[in-house]
Amino acid sequence: MTDFYLNNFTDAASVADAIRNLSYRGGSTYLGEGLRVARTEIFHAANGDRPDAVNVIILVTAGLPDDMIAAVLSEVSIIESLNITIIGVGVGSGVRV
């Protein structure tokens, strides 16, 4: 489920406000699916992606993925080949360093 696209806003302050107002839904951690949605929906010109902007995914997770690790690694490989940067942030007790 995508909460919003970048073309829903006209300035950075509105995007930041939308991010602050996101609610945590809980549930499973499907990292591969989340990365696929970012790649195919978020970074898409029809949804507000700009060809002159650097694309960055800030991935916030509470632990290991519930989907197959092969799916996660496949998406990471595709995303890296598209020069999209992924920054991972682990939160909560499910994160091991």
Q: Over the stretch 60-86, which tens digit does the pLDDT of each residue have?
A: 887 777 778 888 899 999 999 999 999
Q: How many CB atoms lie within 10 A of CB 31?
A: 22
CA distance 42 to 35: 10
Please provide the CATH number assigned to the domain covering 6-90. Answer: 3.40.50.410
Cross-strand bridge partners of residue 86: 57
- What ranges do the domains of the chain cover? 6-90
Express each pLDDT in 18-47 by its tens digit.
989 988 777 777 788 889 999 999 999 999
Stated pTM of the model: 0.79
State the pLDDT at residue 97. Answer: 63
CA distance 50 to 12: 14
